[in-house]
């Protein structure tokens, strides 16, 4: 689903995806590593530092004095009666991840469900801000390396750093 139109009407079947959540963010030399996962597996998507900061703020439910870009997108959705239903991390190619945001709009003409191509970082911020689920395709989940141990080491190190 990478190529072609940025808008698609194809929806993933429920059994083709696995629900995940952001489990941690760690700075890197070039940006941030976002750890996604569930009880079974954790994987990393690398994102730029600015979006990493916005995601960290969203995870902490921090408020801003003025709307950021993702807040603006949400306000547009609200004004047009569009609801973000879910985010799907649907593909990975040479360490580049791809995502889709699934939107639903209902008006006097009926209900319309649309998938739109998005960077996983932007899609994740929107999902976290709206409390909507994040899924990963089974194909991607099977492909990515399990980084659970790395995340646990980071958490232990942060815990030790906070000790007196």
Q: Which CATH architecture has domain 7-157?
A: Roll (3.10)
Averaged pLDDT, 20-45 = 96
Averaged pLDDT, 106-111 = 88
pTM: 0.85
Q: Is the pLDDT of residue 9 over 50?
A: no
Averaged pLDDT, 13-26 = 88
Share of the chain above pLDDT 90, in %: 79
The CA distance from 138 to 144, in Å, is 10
The residues, any chain, with a CB within 8 Å of residue 85's CB and separated by 6 or more, are: 102, 103, 104, 113, 132
Share of the chain above pLDDT 70, in %: 88
Strand boundaries in the chain, DSSP class E: 7-8, 17-27, 32-37, 42-47, 82-93, 96-107, 110-118, 134-137
> How many CB atoms sit inside 10 A of residue 84's CB?
20
Which structure tokens are listed for 15? 């059994």
């Amino acid at each position: 689903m990478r190529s072609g139109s940025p808008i698609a009407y194809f929806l993933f079947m429920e059994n083709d995806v696995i629900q995940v959540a952001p489990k941690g963010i760690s700075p890197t030399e070039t940006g941030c590593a976002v750890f996604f996962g569930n009880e079974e597996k954790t994987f990393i998507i690398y994102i730029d530092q600015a979006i990493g900061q916005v995601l960290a703020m969203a995870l902490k439910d921090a408020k801003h004095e003025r709307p950021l870009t993702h807040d603006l997108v949400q306000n547009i959705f609200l004004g047009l009666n569009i609801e973000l239903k879910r985010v799907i991390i649907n593909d990975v190619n040479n360490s580049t991840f791809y995502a889709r945001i699934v939107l639903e709009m209902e008006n006097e003409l009926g209900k319309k469900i649309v998938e739109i191509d998005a960077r996983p970082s932007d899609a994740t911020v929107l999902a976290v801000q709206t409390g909507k689920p994040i899924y990963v395709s089974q194909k991607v989940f099977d492909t990515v390396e399990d980084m659970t141990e790395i995340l646990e080491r980071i958490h232990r190190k942060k815990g030790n750093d906070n000790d007196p």
